Amino acid sequence: MTGTPRLAFLASPAEEAQLALAQMTARYGEHSPEEADVLVALGGDGFMLQTLHRHAGLAKPVYGMKLGTVGFMMNHQRSEDLIGRIHAAEPAVLRPLEMVAQTESGATVGSLAYNEVSLLRQTRQAAHLSIDLNGQTRLDELICDGVLVATPAGSTAYNFSAHGPILPLGANVIALTPIAAFRPRRWRGAVLKADTEVRFRVMDPFKRPVSATADSHEVRDIVEVTIRESRDRTVTLLFDPEHNLEERILAEQFTSG
């Protein structure tokens, strides 16, 4: 990127983020997301995901600054030399998951997930699911609280909390991770090639209802969900070189807290 980039500042509703928004726009000016060269997201990881979902169609790189409780996808917040930081930033290209969910009512709902797609039981009844990979049944019955499919960028979030593997960027794999599996009791999930089509079928969906959530978009009372990595959609995040996303994912595997 050469010259001075036009910036569009986007902020979460939190007071701290709104204060930073006022300071940043006064210092660097303001452009609409459509006019800007770079989107600057002020908030936490949740707001970054909202920004990606809302503005992915613009195909603009996004530079995040942490002003929330969780900031794995964000850079450290400071207002000095923002233009220089953006010029020096390293890009991380993310490819989202595409979810297509079929509901009990017959509706078909599609959504994207940059972190993960998770299936969760809706009641005290455990979920009973079957799992197909590329059209072949691999698990006839998984009895569990839920199951998820995570991207490498999302593998440090819910997936890691569910004891799933952390995946390196650029490895062209996704994680399939059970959540509190009861049977098979020792099944820990699988690491799959990124182009694998994963299909879940809900067994007895009226007695054991299940929801599917793509990042924060929930679809309730599902009967079947198909998940695959998008072939034609990408987003680009910008990271300070000393703390880029690849380094964060590596460092996360050596933390004890």
| DSSP 8-state assignment for residue 33 | T
DSSP label at residue 139? E
Counting every residue written for the chain, the total comes to 257
Of 45, 132, 221, 232, the catalytic one is: 45
Q: How far apart, in whole angstroms, are the C-alpha atoms of residue 214 and residue 112?
A: 6
Which two three-digit tokens encode residue 184?
């098979």
- For 139, phi then psi, to 5°, come to -140, 115
Residue 45 annotated as catalytic: yes
In whole angstroms, give the CA distance from residue 110 to residue 219: 9
Sign of the dihedral defined by the CA atoms of residues 150, 152, 154, 156, in that order: positive
- Look at residues 210, 190, 178, 234 and name the one whose alpha carbon lies nearest to residue 101: 210
Measured distance CA(58)–CA(69) in Å, rounded: 27
Catalytic positions? 45
